[in-house]
Amino acid sequence: MQNNTAISELIEAGKWVSQKGWVPATGGNFSARTSTGFVVTASGHDKGALMPEHFLQLNHLGERVAGAIKPSAETQLHLSLYQLIPDAQYVLHTHSVAATVLSNIIQRHQLELTGYEMQKALSGITSHLESLAIPIFDNDQDIDRLSLLVSDHHLHSPIKHAVLIRGHGLYAVGRNIDEVRRHLEALEFLFSCELERLKITGTAL
Binding residues for Zn(2+), by number, are 93, 95
Question: Which of 8, 26, 114, 131 is in the footprint of ligand L4RZE5RM by CB under 6 A?
Answer: 26
Task: Check residue 76 for interaction with ligand L4RZE5RM (CB under 6 A).
Answer: no
Angstrom distance (rounded) from CA 168 to CA 115: 26
Task: Check residue 73 for interaction with ligand L4RZE5RM (CB under 6 A).
Answer: yes
Question: Which of 21, 44, 52, 115 is in the footprint of ligand L4RZE5RM by CB under 6 A?
Answer: 44
Question: Which of 34, 72, 80, 119 is in the footprint of ligand L4RZE5RM by CB under 6 A?
Answer: 72
- Give the number of C-alpha atoms closer than 13 A to the C-alpha of residue 197, restricted to the C-beta side: 15
| # residues near ligand L4RZE5RM by CB under 6 A | 12
Q: How far is CA 196 from CA 66, 105, 111, 201, 203, in A?
A: 44, 13, 15, 9, 11
Task: Check residue 3 for interaction with ligand L4RZE5RM (CB under 6 A).
Answer: no
Q: Which of 164, 158, 6, 13 is nearest to 89 (CA)?
A: 6
Task: Check residue 43 for interaction with ligand L4RZE5RM (CB under 6 A).
Answer: yes
Angstrom distance (rounded) from CA 190 to CA 49: 27
Site for ligand L4RZE5RM in 81-110 (CB under 6 A): 93
| Length of the chain as a residue count | 205
